[in-house]
Amino acid sequence: VGYEVLSELPKEQHPSPMLSLDKTKDTEQLAAWLGEHPGLLSWKMDGLTIVLTYQEGTLQKAVTRGNGQVGEVITGNARMFDNVPLQIPFQGELVLRGEAVITYSRFREINESLPAEEQYKNPRNLCSGSVRQLNNEITAKRNVELYAFTLVEAEGVDFENSQKNKMEFMRKQGFQVVEYKLVTRENIAETVEWFSDKVKTNDFPSDGLVLLYDDIESVSYTHLTLPTIRL
């Protein structure tokens, strides 16, 4: 493996702003918001959002979310993530967003190896520092994982107006996709309860759930804060 050391991380403006999510703690509001639309409910991972760009099947660029308009180019570091494919079958231009995270178990291992004054407060802070290293050999040792959650572009592919089809397309390209479930206003409450139970034992950090319409043309997002988050 060829590691690299940079003097700084270059900045780059995103083609379109990466906006924040609307928030709620009320599942009844989610049901009303869905209406007649089927939706996808998934984890809101608590890490660092990364935008990956592939051309001719090869990872060309990785940029952090930054302030939503300008991010930092961390391509060399992204190549060190445990599960980011450097090559994919799709040969057109592909752009996706994913969340870089470090598991709770790996977070504890790393903290135990550090002096008390150098230990990290939580996995998110450790992940942020790991992803933004100037020496990507350090990134490689941190075992950062990426969960794809949004396919921004896949040149020339017809997804039949379905976000689910986009998610499955990313999975077939070799990406680890954030866990999601199809929901309607009739089953949203019980599905939220399922996620609320599971978050207590997950090894990855999450600070809520994301709900979006399956209908691409009517795409909209909202964020539900879960009442119980593992610390």
Q: Which two tokens stand for residue 85?
A: 């494919």
Predicted TM-score (pTM) of the model is 0.89
Work out the burial of residue 202: count CB atoms within 10 Å of its CB; fewer than 13 is exposed, 13-18 middle, 19 or more buried. middle
From residue 18, alpha-carbon distances to 1, 6, 46, 101 in Å are 33, 26, 16, 19
Mean per-residue pLDDT of the chain: 88
Q: Is 23 a catalytic residue?
A: no
Task: Check residue 31 and give left, alpha or beta (phi > 0: left; psi -120 to 50: alpha).
Answer: alpha
Measure the CA–CA gap between 71 and 171, rounded to whole angstroms.
25
pLDDT tens digit string along 162-185?
A: 999 999 999 999 999 999 999 999
- Active-site hit among 11, 44, 141, 200: 44
Residue 230 is predicted with a pLDDT of: 33
CB 221 within 8 A of CB 21: yes
- pLDDT beyond 80 at 130: yes
Confidence of residue 227 (pLDDT cuts 50, 70, 90): very low
Count other C-beta atoms under 10 Å from residue 148's C-beta: 23
pLDDT tens digit string along 33-85?
A: 899 999 999 999 999 999 999 999 999 999 998 887 888 999 999 999 999 99
